Amino acid sequence: MKKKNALALLPILAFVVLYLTLGIVFEYVLKIPQGFYKVPVIVVFLVAILIAFLQTRGKTMEEKFAIMGRGVGDKNIVTMLIIFLLAGVFVGVVGRSSAESVAYFFLSLVPPRMAVLVLFLVACFVSTAMGTSVGTITLITPIAYAVSTMTGFPLALCVGTVVGGSMFGDNLSFVSDTTIAACQGQGCAMKDKFRTNFAVVLPAALLTAIVILFFSFRAEIGEVAIKDYSLLEILPYVLVLVCGIAGVNVFIALLAGVLSGSLIALIAGGVSFPNLLAAMGSGAAGMLETSMVAVLVAALGELIRENGGFEALLSGIRRIFRTKRGGQLGIGLLVGAMDIATANNTVAIVMANPIASEIAKEHGISPRKTASLLDTFSCIFQGVLPYGAQMLVALAAVSELGGSLSAFSVIAHLFYPMALLLSSLVFIFLIPERKVKQKVK
């Protein structure tokens, strides 16, 4: 046990203040589009690490670097980095056209009255298969805009439905960086976290579907035009999803998706081998910032732990949340606070992981439940942030199409994050976790 030292948490406070201040200035003072995402998060983390470095007294330079290396060299961090990069390669291989085929395939199966519900289901499926909420929103928001224009459904309802559905997969997908971060940070198997998570998200998704149908049947609508799509391009997504649900190792599942997607692209898609390799490289490069943030957070966390910061934070949480249920809520609020500060649910999970592990041990919360809480609450908060990437990308897509929409009008139609919060609280306070044999990775 390290001695409690609240001042050791100063690097986190500095990160929060600096990140939020720069984001607010960029977004609302300088009027820079997507200003929060112009803030160089890696640079801000380096500032926080410098503060922690200076706080670590009585150690030589070599000893301080050794402490940081201990955090970065953790097997969970290394595994997380490899999976991040492999997931990026998968997304680079399958590309946008494959996801469009998924979307239009679903929309071709139902009558116009059900179009908004199908948008929700498509967003859920695509985000689960792709593992990215932002990518799903980028893909399906133009379709949502078209559905609204052609049928007369409110644009805010259509866009809010897509944003909400995208958080379903962000929370649940085997290839989502939040799932990877939560599972590797807590040392649990992805299939165990999936099963625990699914019990929480299913009621939320069903409640969301009911609410969407209520609004749908009150609206006067027209018809939806369906574009051409390829069923063959859907196969890589289905393969990864089935492998994940079946409990196949995530590396094997992703490799299967990459190989099947590559074969389809080369044979049926008319993509040249050099262009396919370039797409793989671009996909992996898209994960580099997330990977670097994971490295820096691991280094920062180890310095804070060495200086007694986590012990001070744990002591404060113990005083407020004394029961097992309180500990679960504390984990949820902890990662939610990190997400509000960073507007990045993956970063929030990585930052909260070590503290959540200590809370879980203190209250006897299983690794799978802890991972589920971290992922779920980070997605709840991220899904409704007016300055989150999901909201900003959705509004930007609508604007590019000639539409106009405010963040708060979309927030009013974010039924899924609201339902997920309700379901999470029910499972924390009313439905105890079943004792199941836990496989730890």
Please indicate, yes or no, if residue 181 is contained in any of the structural domains: yes
Q: Are 127 and 174 in contact (CB under 8 A)?
A: no
DSSP tag of 4: P
The residue ranking higher by pLDDT, 341 or 65, is 65
Please indicate, yes or no, if residue 213 is contained in any of the structural domains: yes
pLDDT score for 436: 46
Using a 10 angstrom Cβ sphere, with 0-12 exposed, 13-18 middle and 19 or more buried, the burial of residue 259 is middle
Q: How confident is the model at residue 161 (pLDDT cuts 50, 70, 90)?
A: very high
Residue 388 has pLDDT above 80, yes or no: no
Q: Which of 2, 253, 222, 273 shows the shortest CA–CA distance to 115? A: 222
Average confidence (pLDDT) over 78-104 = 75
pTM, to two decimals: 0.72
Average confidence (pLDDT) over 40-67 = 91
Percent of the chain with pLDDT over 90: 25
Please indicate, yes or no, if residue 27 is contained in any of the structural domains: no
Residue 65 has pLDDT above 90, yes or no: yes
pLDDT score for 441: 45
Phi, psi (rounded to 5 degrees) for 13: -60, -40
What is the signed CA dihedral for 259, 181, 415, 429, rounded to 10 degrees? 130
- Residue 302 makes CB contacts below 8 A (sequence gap 6+) with 67, 68, 70, 71, 72
Please indicate, yes or no, if residue 19 is contained in any of the structural domains: no
pLDDT score for 126: 82
Count of domains forming the chain: 1
Please indicate, yes or no, if residue 415 is contained in any of the structural domains: yes
Q: How confident is the model at residue 200 (pLDDT cuts 50, 70, 90)?
A: very high
The residue ranking higher by pLDDT, 385 or 162, is 162
Q: How confident is the model at residue 226 (pLDDT cuts 50, 70, 90)?
A: confident
Please indicate, yes or no, if residue 191 is contained in any of the structural domains: yes
Average confidence (pLDDT) over 99-117 = 77
Q: How confident is the model at residue 438 (pLDDT cuts 50, 70, 90)?
A: very low
Residue 270 has pLDDT above 50, yes or no: yes
Please indicate, yes or no, if residue 215 is contained in any of the structural domains: yes
Q: Are 313 and 8 in contact (CB under 8 A)?
A: no
Please indicate, yes or no, if residue 362 is contained in any of the structural domains: yes
Tens digits of per-residue pLDDT, 277-290?
998 998 888 778 77
* Domain of 146, in residue numbers: 65-429
pLDDT score for 198: 92
Distance CA 432, CA 422 (A): 15
